[in-house]
Amino acid sequence: MTTSRTQPLQLLIVDPQNDFCDIDGATLPVTGADADMKRLAALVDQAGGAIADIVVTLDSHPVYAIERPAFWQQPGGEGAPQPVAPFTQIKAGDVRAGRFAPRDAALREEVLSYLDALEASPKKYILMVWPTHCVVGTWGHNVHGDLAAALGRWEATRLRTVEKVLKGQNPMTEQYSAVRAEVPIANDPRTQTNRALVDRIVDFPGLTFIAGEASSHCVAATAEDLFAEMSAERLSRIVLIEDAMSPVGGFESGATAFVARARALGVRTMTAAQALGLLSA
């Protein structure tokens, strides 16, 4: 498309992966995500000539990790340990009381230290045991097919590469935000503040469109960590593409609160169609 705008455009796409889309085979489907990613793919195709930079974050996990069912057990009948179901919340107090325990008993004190730090953090998170999702090397880890194809066309046309940022690789800490883990680990730089990502987004001289999955969790966490580094002027150049992100079911209020906080900071919200209109204005 042609555009009269002189400002370059950046696109930050958070975790646009198969396992988060409401399609066959997904392990943590977000209602509406398939349509979100198709709208986003169309935006990339239609606005491709105006897009100077694309960053894609990828939730990237092993099967065995602190927020996975494979990590946990609970007491069962006749003393036999039982599995812990997805969508179970676990607090430090639950572990101390024996209601839940890591399957590797040697990790108990490390787990307690982690849960204490998580619950005392500014975000006041409680550990959630999620369905096993976005395991590196699996179909679920891959970018949604329509969007992946659009990103490939952008690379071939613009002679540039999409920057892909992996997050969540350390099994002993959760990581919703691509900026840093919820409880950074001192000897693992992957869990600490990703300065290269922060600088790439914060220092970008034009508009930044933000989209991805899910608006209640990883989009919100990533965006708010970035917002904390931005001036009011930079925040005014951020646009959330509201119909290219959806919340995890049951967490709709979290997504609504995130959007409200963003607007209060001066961030704009638009549909994909409105964003395209902005570029041609």
Q: Sort 154 into a burial class: Cβ within 10 Å, 0-12 / 13-18 / 19+.
A: buried
Cα–Cα distance, 82 to 175 (Å, whole number): 26
Dump pLDDT digits (tens) for 225-274: 999 999 999 999 999 999 999 999 999 999 999 999 999 999 999 999 99
Which tokens belong to 33?
């995500």
Cα–Cα distance, 46 to 8 (Å, whole number): 15
Specify the pLDDT at position 124: 82
Residues written for the chain: 281
Encode burial over 109-135: b for 16+ CB neighbours within 10 A, e otherwise.
Answer: eebeebbbebeeeeeebebbbbebbbb
Beta bridge mates, 238: 208
Q: What is the mean pLDDT of residues 20-33?
A: 98
- C-alpha to C-alpha distances, 221 to 26, 153, 228, nearest whole angstrom: 22, 29, 11
Helix (H) or strand (E) holding 57: strand 51-59
What letter would DSSP give residue 213?
Answer: S
Please determine, for residue 3, whether its predicted confidence score (pLDDT) is greater than 70. no
Sheet holding 207-212: strands in order across?
163-167, 51-59, 9-14, 207-212, 238-241, 268-270
Which of 18, 112, 90, 6 minimizes the C-alpha distance to 58? 18
Cα–Cα distance, 5 to 162 (Å, whole number): 22
Please determine, for residue 1, whether its predicted confidence score (pLDDT) is greater than 50. no
Specify the pLDDT at position 5: 53
Please determine, for residue 4, whether its predicted confidence score (pLDDT) is greater than 50. no
Please determine, for residue 191, whether its predicted confidence score (pLDDT) is greater than 90. yes
Cα–Cα distance, 36 to 39 (Å, whole number): 5
Beta bridge mates, 17: 143
Task: Read off the pLDDT band of 193 (50, 70, 90).
Answer: very high
Specify the pLDDT at position 72: 98
Instruction: Give just the sign of the alpha carbon dihedral 178, 151, 39, 59.
Output: negative
Q: What is the mean pLDDT of the chain?
A: 95
Cβ neighbours of residue 166 under 8 Å, at least 6 residues apart? 57, 58, 60, 136, 190
Cβ neighbours of residue 205 under 8 Å, at least 6 residues apart? 7, 8
SS3 of residue 53 by DSSP: strand
Which of 18, 122, 28, 127 minimizes the C-alpha distance to 72? 127
Dump pLDDT digits (tens) for 133-175: 999 999 999 999 999 999 999 999 999 999 999 999 999 999 9
Specify the pLDDT at position 2: 36
Cβ neighbours of residue 22 under 8 Å, at least 6 residues apart? 29, 30, 31, 32, 33, 34
Task: Read off the pLDDT band of 6 (50, 70, 90).
Answer: low
Residue 24 phi, psi dihedral angles, 5° rounding: -60, 130
Domains and CATH numbers, the chain: 9-62+133-280 (3.40.50.850), 69-129 (no CATH)
Please determine, for residue 90, whether its predicted confidence score (pLDDT) is greater than 70. yes
pLDDT above 70 covers what percent of the chain? 98
